C-alpha cells in the first residue's frame, strides 16, 4: 500500500467543501480528493494544521498514505464551492447553517451527511438553505490530528442523480433512493441499535451481537424504533430491520460507535438526535420506548460526568 500519493485536481470536477472535518467528512472528502476533485476540509485548528502541512493521512484496508487537500478553520472557505458536504455534529446543525448562509455561492448544492432524520428541516429553519439529505454508512475514526482510520463500509444513499454521480466517479458506492425518508429512518434504527450500547459497554458491534443480553437489548431498541416510525407514517424499506441490524454488525464488526468515540474524547454526543429523538417522537405518538429511554438516559448521565456539561439538549 502506498505511503504517499500525489493527486492533481481535475478542472472538470465540481469544487467541493466539507463543513465539519471529522471522521465522516474526512473519509468522503478524502476519497473525492484522491480521485482528483478539488476539496477543502473545514474543521478544528488541530486537524487543519496537520492537514495543511502533510495532507490527510488515510488508513484503510486497501490504502495507507497521505492525500493532499486544502484545509481551513474559516467557514468562508466554502465561498467557491459547487458542492458543500455538511458534516457537522447534529448538536451544531443550526449554528453551522447560519454561519454557512452568507458564504454560500449561488447555485451551490448542500448535502447533509449527518446522523438523525431531521437535519434538513433544521438547516432550512435556521438558515433558509435547502439542503439535500444523504444516508451514510461508514465506520471511521480520527486517530490523531489529520489522521483517519477506516474500519468498514463507506457507502451512501441519496435522492439526487447529480450528487450520486460525483460520489460514484470517486469510486464511492452510492445508491439513489426515491424514499429517502425511509432510508434515513433505517439508518436511525441502526444508530439506535448500536450507538448507545457500544458507548455504555465500550464494545464493538460484533461483541454486542455475540453477547446474548446485549443482543436482546439491541433487538428491543430496533423494534421500538420501527414501531415509532410506523406510527409516524414512515414507509421503511421492505427489509427485516432486526436482520439488517445483525448484518450491519457483520459488515462493521470492529466498529466503535461515534457516541463511544465522543465520550472517549470528553465530547458531547449526538444521543439526543438518536435514541432521544425516538423517545420524544414516541411520547408524541403514544408509542412506548422503554429500552430507548433507558439507553438515552444512561448515555446522558455518562456524558455529563465525562464532559462536565450539566445541561440537556432534549
Looking at the annotation, which residues are catalytic? 187
Q: Which string of DSSP letters, residue by residue, matches the chain?
A: --SB------TTSPPEEEES-SHHHHHHHHHHHHTT--EEEE--HHHHHHHHHH-EEEE-SS-EEEE--EEES-GGGGTT-SEEEE---GGGHHHHHHHHGGGPPTT-EEEE--SSS-HHHHHHHHH---PEEEEEEEEEEEEETTEEEEEEEEEEEES-HHHHHHHHHTT--EEE-S-HHHHHHHHHHHHHHHHHHHHHHT--HHHHHHSHHHHHHHHHHHHHHHHHHHHTT----SS-HHHHHHHHHHHTTT---HHHHHHHTT---SGGGTHHHHHHHHHHHT---HHHHHHHHHHHHHHHHHH-------
Quote the CA–CA distance of 96 and 74 in Å, as a whole number. 11
Q: What's the gap between Cα 95 and its chain centre?
A: 17
To which residue does cell 455538511 refer? 86
Cell triple for 59: 488508513
Which residues, other chains included, contact 299 with Cβ-Cβ below 8 Å and sequence gap of 6+? 196, 199, 200, 259, 263, 269, 271, 275
Cell triple for 18: 466539507
Amino acid at each position: 500500500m502506498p505511503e504517499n500519493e500525489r493527486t492533481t485536481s481535475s478542472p472538470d470536477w465540481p469544487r467541493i467543501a466539507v463543513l465539519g472535518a471529522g471522521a465522516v467528512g474526512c473519509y468522503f472528502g478524502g476519497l473525492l480528493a484522491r480521485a482528483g476533485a478539488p476539496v477543502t476540509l473545514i474543521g478544528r485548528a488541530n486537524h487543519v494544521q496537520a492537514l495543511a502541512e502533510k495532507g490527510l493521512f488515510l488508513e484503510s484496508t486497501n490504502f495507507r498514505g497521505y492525500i493532499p487537500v486544502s484545509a481551513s478553520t474559516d467557514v468562508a472557505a466554502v465561498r467557491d464551492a459547487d458542492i458543500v458536504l455538511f458534516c457537522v455534529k447534529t448538536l451544531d446543525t443550526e449554528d453551522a447553517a447560519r454561519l454557512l448562509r452568507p458564504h454560500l455561492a449561488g447555485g451551490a448544492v448542500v448535502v447533509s451527511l449527518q446522523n438523525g432524520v431531521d437535519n434538513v428541516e433544521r438547516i432550512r429553519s435556521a438558515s433558509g438553505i435547502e439542503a439535500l439529505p444523504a444516508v451514510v454508512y461508514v465506520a471511521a475514526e480520527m486517530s490523531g490530528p489529520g489522521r483517519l482510520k477506516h474500519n468498514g463500509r463507506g457507502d451512501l444513499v441519496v435522492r439526487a442523480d447529480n450528487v450520486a454521480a460525483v460520489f460514484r466517479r470517486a469510486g464511492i458506492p452510492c445508491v439513489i433512493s426515491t424514499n429517502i425518508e425511509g432510508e434515513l429512518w433505517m439508518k436511525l434504527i441502526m444508530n439506535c441499535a448500536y450507538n448507545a450500547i457500544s458507548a455504555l459497554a465500550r464494545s464493538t458491534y460484533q461483541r454486542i451481537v455475540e453477547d446474548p443480553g446485549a443482543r436482546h437489548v439491541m433487538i428491543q431498541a430496533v423494534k421500538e424504533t420501527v414501531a415509532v416510525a410506523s406510527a409516524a407514517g414512515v414507509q421503511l424499506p421492505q427489509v427485516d430491520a432486526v436482520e439488517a441490524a445483525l448484518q450491519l454488525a457483520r459488515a462493521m464488526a470492529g466498529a466503535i460507535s461515534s457516541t463511544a468515540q465522543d465520550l472517549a474524547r470528553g465530547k458531547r454526543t449526538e444521543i439526543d438526535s438518536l435514541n432521544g429523538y425516538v423517545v420524544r417522537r414516541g411520547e408524541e405518538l403514544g408509542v412506548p420506548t422503554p429500552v430507548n429511554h433507558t439507553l438515552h438516559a444512561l448515555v446522558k448521565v455518562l456524558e455529563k460526568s465525562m464532559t462536565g456539561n450539566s445541561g440537556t439538549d432534549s
